Amino acid sequence: MIRIGNFFFRYRNYLFIFLYLALFIPSPPIFSEHTIGPKYYLYPLIIGLCITFAGQLIRGATISLAYIVRGGKDKKVYAEQLVTHGIFAHCRNPLYVGNILMLAGVGILVNSLLYLLVFIPLFLFIYQAIVLAEENFLRQKFGNQFDAYAQRVHRWLINPSGLRTTLSEMRFFWKRWLIKEYNTQVVWLSGIALILFFKYSNWQWSSEVRNKWFLVVLLALAIYYVTIRYLKKSGRWSAA
């Protein structure tokens, strides 16, 4: 599993492109008019949006409180220090938990049974392998310090005990969230907009009105992207 994890770690950024494309593979629905009723589309809409936004909020809280520098080095697992505070005091992999919820949420939003039964389990398997590879590196580098951390903090489940204290006592650095996440946010929100405008035809919009509002949303996201990128590159905002 560690070898598999090291392999997928090198190409993990391409994994999301594949998973987003998989959203549009024809699939039987999770919810249908036959089983739920004429307003069946409200179930994937509400549940999917709540789950996917919960994932981004978890990522936002994690990055804002204690950002972890574990992006790899030369396409290999690498970490400068063992981060155990912030949300990492409640879960060893909160960023990955956020990613899983974000993708599971859009899978429900698109109402794809195939996505939930095939691609999400595949995603979980790959993430488990990546995490095992990362933990192997951390255990070799930090030894007993990592073992003690692993014993008290779960790999995947977020322990709510003391979470309110963590959130209240630490500085919430929201600028770092935007600087580190604006790429992910724009791609994620663009995908959600695409699904909402072109799959949920129950709103009975004309094609002209729908396309116009879709372009407005894309323009707003483009402005957001350019603005945050400028603030980052110009040094006006710092992730420190």
What gap in Å lies between CA 62 and CA 68, rounded to an integer?
9
Lookup: tokens for 164: 């309110």
Q: Coil, strand or helix: which one is 37?
A: coil
Q: In the chain, where are the structural domains located? A: 2-170, 173-240
**For residue 127, what pLDDT is reported?**
94
| pTM listed for this prediction | 0.91
Multiple choice CATH, 2-170, 1.20.120, 2.60.120, 3.40.50, 3.40.5: 1.20.120
In order along its 240 residues, the chain shows pLDDT tens digits of 888 887 888 877 788 888 888 998 999 999 988 888 888 888 999 999 999 999 999 999 999 887 666 556 656 787 778 888 889 999 999 999 999 999 999 999 999 999 999 999 999 999 999 999 999 999 999 999 999 999 999 999 999 998 888 888 777 888 889 998 999 999 999 999 999 998 886 566 788 888 899 999 999 999 999 999 999 999 888 866
**For residue 73, what pLDDT is reported?**
61
What gap in Å lies between CA 64 and CA 140, rounded to an integer?
28
**For residue 167, what pLDDT is reported?**
83
**For residue 70, what pLDDT is reported?**
54
Long-range contacts of 183-192 (CB under 8 A, 24+ apart): 183/225, 184/59, 185/56, 185/224, 186/221, 186/222, 186/224, 186/225, 187/16, 187/20, 188/52, 188/56, 188/102, 188/106, 189/221, 190/218, 190/221, 191/20, 191/23, 191/106, 192/49, 192/52, 192/106, 192/109
The whole-angstrom distance between residue 174's C-alpha and the CA centroid of its chain comes to 17
Report yes or no: 27 and 118 within 8 Å, Cβ to Cβ: no
